[in-house]
């Protein structure tokens, strides 16, 4: 058993991209920031935000609505009931000025993180290439 979350040390039998820490490649806080980015484009209701999600890993609706409520409690978004049009009333969310400031700070943080990740991956690639092209470097024992 590996010291990193139970991940196997010798995972070379997997296809490229399948090896990695348990839990996938989610960036902590990404859903909240993604919601703020979408609301910076214009007000929207929750279902509309779910429809905008571009991959198969959209958050479940319950999580999305809890995230929106949390953002509202933090003053990053505000909401109001939309009763116009056919069908039931829907809560429409909009970003606040504080939410725009947070979104900007998050984008700066992500840029810095991306730079660190790029350096890490370049260092790792040179390590692996220096060991005769092995797919994964051996873990110390």
pLDDT tens profile 24-71: 445 567 889 999 999 999 999 998 998 888 776 778 889 999 999 999
Q: Which CATH number fits domain 30-130: 3.40.50.150, 1.10.10.10, 3.90.1150.10, 1.10.20.10?
A: 1.10.10.10
32-36, Cβ contacts within 8 angstroms, sequence gap of 24 or more: 32/67, 32/70, 32/71, 33/102, 33/103, 33/106, 33/107, 33/110, 35/64, 35/67, 35/68, 35/71, 35/77, 35/93, 36/71, 36/76, 36/77, 36/95, 36/99, 36/100, 36/102, 36/103, 36/106
Identify the band that residue 84 occupies on the pLDDT scale cut at 50, 70 and 90: confident
**Lookup result for tokens 């090896």:** 19
Provide CB contacts within 8 A for 131, sequence distance 6+: 137
pTM of the model: 0.67
User: What is the rounded CA–CA span in Å between residue 128 and residue 16?
Assistant: 14
Identify the band that residue 135 occupies on the pLDDT scale cut at 50, 70 and 90: low
- The full set of domain ranges for the chain reads 30-130
**Residue 136, pLDDT above cutoff 90:** no
């Amino acid at each position: 058993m590996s010291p990193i979350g139970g991940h196997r040390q010798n995972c070379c039998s997997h296809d490229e991209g399948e090896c990695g820490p348990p839990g996938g490649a989610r960036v902590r806080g990404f859903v909240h920031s993604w919601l703020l980015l979408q609301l910076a484009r214009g007000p929207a209701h929750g279902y509309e935000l779910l429809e905008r999600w571009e991959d198969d890993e959209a958050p479940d609706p319950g999580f999305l609505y809890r995230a929106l409520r949390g953002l509202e409690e933090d003053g990053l978004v505000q909401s109001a009931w939309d009763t116009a049009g056919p069908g039931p009333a829907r809560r429409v969310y909009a970003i606040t000025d504080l939410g725009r400031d947070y979104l900007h700070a998050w984008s700066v943080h992500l840029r810095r993180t991306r730079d660190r990740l790029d350096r890490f991956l370049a260092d790792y690639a040179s390590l692996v290439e220096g060991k005769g092209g092995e797919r994964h470097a051996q873990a110390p024992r």
